[in-house]
Amino acid sequence: MLTGISPLLSPELLKTIAEMGHGDELVIGDGNFPAAAMAQRLVRADGHGVAELLEALLPLFPLDRFVPKPAALMEVVPGDPTKPEVWDHYRAIIKRLQPERIADGFEMVERFAFYERAKNAFAIVSTGEAALYANIILKKGVVE
C-alpha cells in the first residue's frame, strides 16, 4: 500500500502513467468505447467512472503546458441531441487540480478522428462509465 495515492489507480495504471513521457497521450474511454480494438496498451478500470479516475489521476499526471489544449473530448455526432453533462464535471476537476491547464478549454475532436488518435495513444483506460461521449484524451506534460 502507498499513502496519498487513490485506491482507484491500479498498479497497472500507475506503471503505465509512470512509463509515459512528455507528449504521450492517455485515453480514458467510457463503457461504449472500443478500447480493446484500438489499444496499444489496454488498462481495465471496470466499475469506475471517468470523472472519478480523473480526480485520482490528475494529482500525479501533469498535463502538457506546451500545447493550448492538453485535454480533448469526442464531439457529439451531428444530429445527435445528446448534451454531455459529464464534460462540466471534467472541466471542474481539471480547473481545481491543474487550473492553468484548462484556460483555453477542451480540444474537440470529431468521432472518427478521435478513434484514429486513440489508436496512436500510449495507452487506453477502459472504464465502466455509462455517460455518452464521456471519452477524454490527456496529453502528458513534464514533471516540474
Positions marked catalytic: 22
Q: Please tell me the distance from the alpha carbon of residue 78 to that of residue 110, in angstroms, as a whole number.
A: 10
Backbone angles phi, psi at 112, to 5 degrees: -75, -30
Calculate Rg over the CA atoms of the chain: 14
> 2 exposed, middle or buried (CB, 10 Å; 0-12, 13-18, 19+)?
exposed
Look at the alpha carbons of 19, 24, 28, 32 in this order and tell me if their dihedral is positive or negative.
negative
Q: Which residues pair with 71 in a beta bridge?
A: 138
Q: Are 106 and 91 in contact (CB under 8 A)?
A: yes
Look at the alpha carbons of 74, 78, 79, 83 in this order and tell me if their dihedral is positive or negative.
positive
